[in-house]
Amino acid sequence: MELKTQIKAEEGKQELFITREFDLPVELLFKAYVEPEIVEQWMGTKVLKLENKKHGSYEFETSDAQGNAVFKANGTIHDVVQNQKITRTFEMENSPFPVQLEFLEFEKLTEDTSKLTMHVVYKSVALRDQLLKLPFAQGINMAHTRLQEIVNKLK
């Protein structure tokens, strides 16, 4: 099955791009990122704090059935331009991964469709790859386009 989400992680770069087109007007897509109760629904996490403004910050927390926090994340919000962009940091608490920088861009495609581009910058190439859980695998991206053609023929 073709996924609607695309990830571009070039070899040797400490960044990646996640893009996705939605059957949603850009206003609704943007709303899904700034309304705490909506974020909770699709992220499946509790939103303890979400200040959508310059110098704002946010805190997410996910608990198990016993109420123990199993996942906590937080970040600082650097910039919010309604229906256009959010610039923020993201850090998983109690994890070996340092903070990452995220540039979210919201784009209107048509009245009813929109596109999200997440540009994520990691502290190092190594950390990015580790985070992708496949430390050596990004190597194939160089050959990816050509190989993709071959793979496509198999589908």
Q: Which of 28, 34, 47, 99 binds another protein (CB under 8 A)?
A: 28
Smallest gap from Cβ 64 to another protein, in A, equals 19
Smallest gap from Cβ 113 to another protein, in A, equals 11
d(Cα 64, Cα 46) in Å, to the nearest integer? 11
Provide Rg for the chain, Cα atoms: 17
DSSP 123: S
Smallest gap from Cβ 56 to another protein, in A, equals 21
Cβ distance 60 to 43 under 8 Å? Answer: yes
Decide if residue 85 touches another protein (CB under 8 A): no
List, as one string, the DSSP characters of 20-76: EEESS-HHHHHHHHH-HHHHHHHH-SEEEEE--STTEEEEEEEE-TTS-EEEEEEEE
Q: Kindly write out the interface string for residues 40-69 of this chain, putting x where it contacts another protein by CB under 8 A and - elsewhere.
A: -xxxx-------------------------
Decide if residue 142 touches another protein (CB under 8 A): yes
Decide if residue 126 touches another protein (CB under 8 A): no
- Which two structure tokens, joined as six digits, stand for 107? 């784009």
Q: Which residues bind another protein (CB under 8 A)?
A: 3-7, 9, 18, 20, 22-24, 28-29, 31-32, 38, 41-44, 116, 132-134, 136-140, 142-144, 146-148, 150-151, 153-154
